[in-house]
C-alpha cells in the first residue's frame, strides 16, 4: 500500500521564534489527532536541528529543502547528504521548481542528488512539473516524462521504490491557480505509467506521488480523492497550523 503523505515546504519563511512556535503547535496537534497520513515538514536549513529537538523520531518527518550533489568539499553554503544523515533527518526535497528557476538545477543534478540521498538512507522527494508555456504548447506530458526518465531511470527497482515524487505544475505555484483534480490525476497517472513502462506496474504502484500545486483546505479532499494522488507538497498553507491541519484532515474520511 502506498504511503499517504502531507508535507509542508516552509520555503524561506519564519523567524526562529515563529518557527519554534509553529513546530510546537504542530506537535500538540499531532499528539491530539491520529491522521490517516504521514506528516512531513521542510523548514529552512537553519531550523532543522530545532525540528529534530522538538519532534521525536518518526513522529514528524524532517526534510531539508535541498541538498548538494557533492559528497563534501569547498562548496560554500551547501548541505551534504552526510550532514543530513548525521542529524538523523528523514530526507530532502530535490529539484523543486524554485531551485530549477533561480539556481539552474537540471534533472541531471537531481539524479546525482537522489543517488546520494539513497546511499545515506535519506528519502528523496523528487519534484517535477511543467511551466505554463509548456502546458499551453501541449508539451506537458513529454516534459514530465523526460524529467522522470533523466532523474530516476538510472536507479534500480529497489532504489526507485524508496523515492517519493512531487508533481508541481509550475504555473500553479504561488499564483493561486490550481490544476483541476482531473488535470492533476491525469499527470499523476502519466508519471506512474512512465515508471511502469520501465520497472513494471508492481513497482510503479508502490511509489507515492504527491501533488504540489497550491493545495488549500477547501480543495484538498477532492484532490486527494484521485486514485493516483497520494498526498500533497504544501507551500503557503503549511505556514499556518489551522490551514495545514485541515489539509491533513482531508485524509480523515
Q: How far is CA 157 from CA 60, 149, 162, 205, in A?
A: 27, 13, 9, 12
d(CA 253, CA 251): 6
How far is 27 from 117, CA to CA, in rounded Å?
26
232 known ligand binder: no
Q: Known binder of ligand: residue 11?
A: yes
Q: Grid coordinates standing for 56?
A: 521525536
Half-sphere exposure (CA, 13 Å, Cβ side) for 238? 26
Answer yes or no: are the C-beta atoms of 65 and 9 closer than 8 Å: yes
Q: What share of the chain is helix, strand, coil (3-state, %, to 5)?
A: 50, 15, 40
Burial of 15 (0-12, 13-18, 19+ CB in 10 A): exposed
Is 213 annotated to bind ligand? Answer: no
Residues forming the active site: 96, 168
Phi-psi region of 177 (alpha: psi -120 to 50; beta: other; left: phi over 0): beta
138 labelled as ligand-binding? Answer: no
Q: Sign of the C-alpha dihedral, residues 30, 83, 14, 222? A: negative
Residue 146 annotated as lining a ligand binding site: no
Dig out the grid coordinates for 88 from the structure: 538523523
d(CA 49, CA 136): 42
Instruction: Please report, in range form, the residues annotated as the binding site.
Output: 9-11, 174, 214, 235-236
Instruction: Please report, in range form, the residues annotated as the binding site for substrate.
Output: 9-11, 174, 214, 235-236
Amino acid at each position: 500500500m502506498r504511503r499517504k503523505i502531507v508535507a509542508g515546504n516552509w520555503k524561506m519563511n519564519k523567524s526562529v521564534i515563529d518557527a519554534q512556535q509553529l513546530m510546537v503547535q504542530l506537535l500538540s496537534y499531532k499528539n491530539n489527532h491520529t491522521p490517516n497520513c504521514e506528516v512531513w515538514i521542510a523548514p529552512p536549513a537553519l531550523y532543522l536541528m530545532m525540528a529534530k529537538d522538538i519532534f521525536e523520531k518518526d513522529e514528524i518527518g524532517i526534510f531539508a529543502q535541498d541538498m548538494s550533489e557533492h559528497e563534501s568539499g569547498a562548496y560554500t553554503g551547501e548541505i551534504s547528504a552526510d550532514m543530513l544523515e548525521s542529524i538523523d533527518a528523514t530526507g530532502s526535497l530535490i529539484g523543486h521548481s524554485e531551485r530549477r528557476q533561480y539556481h539552474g538545477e537540471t534533472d541531471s543534478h537531481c539524479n546525482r542528488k537522489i543517488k546520494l540521498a539513497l546511499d545515506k538512507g535519506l528519502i528523496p522527494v523528487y519534484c517535477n512539473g511543467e511551466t505554463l508555456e509548456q502546458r499551453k504548447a501541449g508539451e506537458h506530458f513529454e516534459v514530465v516524462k523526460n524529467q522522470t526518465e533523466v532523474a530516476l531511470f538510472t536507479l534500480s527497482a529497489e532504489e526507485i521504490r524508496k523515492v517519493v515524487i512531487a508533481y508541481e505544475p509550475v504555473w500553479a505555484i504561488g499564483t493561486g491557480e490550481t490544476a483541476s483534480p482531473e488535470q492533476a490525476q491525469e499527470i499523476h497517472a502519466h508519471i506512474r505509467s512512465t515508471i511502469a513502462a520501465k520497472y513494471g506496474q508492481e513497482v510503479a504502484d508502490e511509489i507515492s506521488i504527491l501533488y504540489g500545486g497550491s493545495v488549500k483546505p477547501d480543495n484538498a479532499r477532492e484532490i486527494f480523492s484521485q486514485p493516483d494522488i497520494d498526498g500533497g507538497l504544501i507551500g503557503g498553507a503549511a505556514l499556518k497550523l489551522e490551514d495545514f491541519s485541515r489539509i491533513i484532515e482531508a485524509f480523515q474520511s
